[in-house]
């Protein structure tokens, strides 16, 4: 049996999430580098005119400043993503005296459409150019999870603001929210199951191109080996709007990203990558679900394994949306860290199609965006007091 390093062995603790590389979003910055100091590869690729916003969403309105009634509190989840031993913070609303009806709260939340419409249209206009030139495939998605905050330097929580906090979006969805989505949102909005699939994603890079990650999407053959059915470059981000929903148990991220097709690999490079994949063995007892013989996680011509991820996904769809519910078991080979997460992603198909048309009508876009965000509000309609 191949040797398994200690850092790759699963612990007996069911909550085995471990630290992941830090990430930082800053407002309207052209190039963001989401990485830890020890990992120069885990980089998010952003477009030249990347747009990023952070909104605070509550029953009393929407803004980009933290209300006086909101405090920073330690995140109580056992699966919290620590960085350098520091547990994350979250925004907590301490004002529960104002009673707002569900209809009033929904109307306030739908104002997000007006708040993000201009940036969204602008991001699409810029993205369509690169899409036509580089064969990019645009996708508009809503992701659910929690915005985690980390202090840049020690000090009392009361002294901290957006400027001296690091921000990371965790895609792990609490069990209570997942149950709400499956039992209420899916049937109420006409979602039907489309397919179930189990895949492995192996991220590789070449020594001469350390910031360019190739995502190898694989299934399992009858002999238990990997079979690559698709290879893509890491996606390019054009727009990210993070929303801290202070009255809810989840936050939300609206993101426009472009998938990039692999067009420049030579036959030799494809052969080197397949050689790496062929040497992997499926093993449910290690993080990420795959292991390599000692010394075989790299090829002789410079390709190396960066990250592996085992995914079990169920896809639902209705006329306008595509819903992906999945469990991911991820392991980063360079940092020796991994995590198991439950993730929910909503693909806004109709809005994405409309925004890629020429000479689009802004009124039509706003109406479609309101409809989509109205459904997203139902995903969020789970009380903030509910926990894992």
Q: What is the pLDDT of residue 299?
A: 73
Cβ pair 322, 349 in contact under 8 A: yes
Per-residue pLDDT reduced to its tens digit, 19-40: 333 332 333 333 333 333 334 4
52 close to 30: Cβ distance less than 8 angstroms: no
pLDDT of residue 187: 95
Average pLDDT value for the chain? 81
pLDDT 10s digits, 236-262: 999 999 999 888 889 999 999 998 887
Which residue, chain included where needed, has tokens 């169920």?
A: 314
At 307, the pLDDT band (50, 70, 90 cuts) reads very high
Beta bridge partners of 132: none
The pLDDT of residue 295:
76
- How many other CB atoms are there within 10 angstroms of residue 186's CB atom? 18
**Contact present, 36 and 42 (Cβ < 8 Å):** yes
- Confidence at residue 220, expressed as pLDDT on a 0 to 100 scale: 93
Query: If we measure between CA atoms, which residue out of 34, 344, 373 comes closest to residue 176?
Result: 344
Enumerate the β-bridge partners of residue 198: 312
What is residue 183's DSSP assignment? Answer: I
For residues 239 and 67, which has the higher predicted lDDT (pLDDT)?
Answer: 239
Q: How far is CA 285 from the centre of its chain?
A: 25
Query: Lowest-confidence range among 18-22, 121-125, 172-176, 364-368?
Result: 18-22
User: Which pLDDT tens digit goes with each residue over 187-212?
Assistant: 999 999 999 999 999 999 988 888 88
pLDDT of residue 159: 59
**6-380 placed in CATH 3.40.50.300:** no
Residue that wins the pLDDT comparison between 70 and 375: 375
At 171 the pLDDT is: 94
Q: What mean pLDDT is predicted for residues 40-54?
A: 80
pLDDT of 345 above 70: yes
What lies within 8 Å, CB to CB, of 295 at 6+ separation is: none
Is residue 311 over pLDDT 60? yes
Amino acid 30: pLDDT: 34
Q: Which of 77-81, 97-101, 225-229, 321-325 has the lowest mean pLDDT?
A: 77-81
pLDDT at position 79 is 55
Is the pLDDT at 283 greater than 70, yes or no?
yes
Check residues 66 and 318 and name the one with the higher pLDDT: 318
Residue range 36-45: mean pLDDT, rounded: 53
**Cα 38 to chain centroid, rounded:** 21
Q: What is the mean pLDDT of residues 231-240?
A: 92
Residue 306, pLDDT > 80, answer yes
Residues of the chain above pLDDT 90, percent: 41
Task: Kindly state the average pLDDT of the residues 284-299.
Answer: 86
Highest mean pLDDT among 134-143, 194-203, 288-297, 365-374: 194-203
Would you say residue 46 has pLDDT above 50? yes
The pLDDT, as a whole number, for residue 12 is 39
- 11 closest CA partner among 280, 287, 281, 282: 287
Domain ranges of the chain: 6-380
The half-sphere exposure of 150 on its side-chain side, counting CA atoms within 13 A, is 19
pLDDT greater than 80 at residue 163: no
Tell which wins on pLDDT, 12 or 320: 320
**Which residue carries 């830890």 as its tokens?**
36
Closest C-alpha among 282, 384, 341, 327 to residue 15 = 341
Across residues 282-308, what is the average pLDDT?
87
């Amino acid at each position: 049996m191949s040797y398994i390093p200690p850092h790759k062995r699963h612990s007996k603790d069911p909550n085995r999430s471990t630290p992941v590389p830090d990430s930082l979003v800053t407002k309207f910055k052209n190039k963001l580098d989401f990485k830890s100091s020890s990992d120069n590869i885990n980089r998010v690729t952003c477009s030249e005119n990347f747009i990023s916003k952070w909104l605070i969403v509550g029953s009393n309105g929407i803004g980009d400043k933290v209300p006086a009634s909101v405090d920073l509190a330690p995140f109580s989840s056992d699966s919290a993503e620590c960085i350098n031993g520091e547990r994350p913070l979250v925004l907590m609303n301490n004002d529960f005296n104002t009673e707002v009806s569900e209809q009033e709260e929904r109307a306030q939340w739908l104002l997000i459409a007006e708040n993000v419409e201009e940036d969204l249209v602008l991001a699409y206009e810029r993205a369509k150019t690169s899409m036509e030139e580089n064969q990019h495939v645009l996708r508009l998605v809503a992701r659910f999870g929690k915005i985690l905050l980390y202090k840049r330097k020690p000090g009392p929580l009361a002294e901290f603001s957006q400027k001296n906090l690091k921000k990371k979006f965790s895609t792990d969805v609490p069990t209570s929210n997942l149950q709400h989505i499956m039992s209420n949102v899916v049937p109420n909005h006409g979602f039907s199951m489309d397919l179930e699939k189990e895949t492995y994603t192996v991220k590789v890079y070449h020594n001469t191109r350390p910031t360019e990650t190739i995502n190898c999407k694989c299934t399992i053959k009858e002999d238990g080996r990997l079979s690559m059915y698709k290879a893509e470059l890491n996606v390019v981000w054009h727009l990210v709007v993070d929303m801290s929903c202070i009255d809810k148990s989840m936050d939300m991220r609206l993101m426009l990203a472009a998938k990039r097709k692999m067009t420049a690999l030579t036959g030799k490079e494809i052969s080197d990558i397949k050689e790496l994949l062929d040497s992997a063995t499926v093993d449910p007892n290690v993080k990420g679900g795959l292991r390599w013989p000692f010394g075989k996680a790299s090829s002789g011509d410079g390709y190396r394994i960066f990250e592996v991820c085992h995914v079990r996904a169920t896809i639902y769809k209705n006329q306008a949306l595509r819903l992906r519910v999945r469990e991911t078991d991820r392991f980063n080979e360079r940092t020796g860290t991994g995590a198991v997460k439950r993730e929910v992603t909503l693909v806004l198909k109709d809005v994405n199609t409309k925004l890629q048309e020429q000479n689009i009508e802004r009124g039509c876009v706003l109406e479609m965006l309101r409809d989509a965000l109205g459904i997203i509000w139902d995903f969020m309609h789970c009380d903030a007091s509910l926990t894992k």
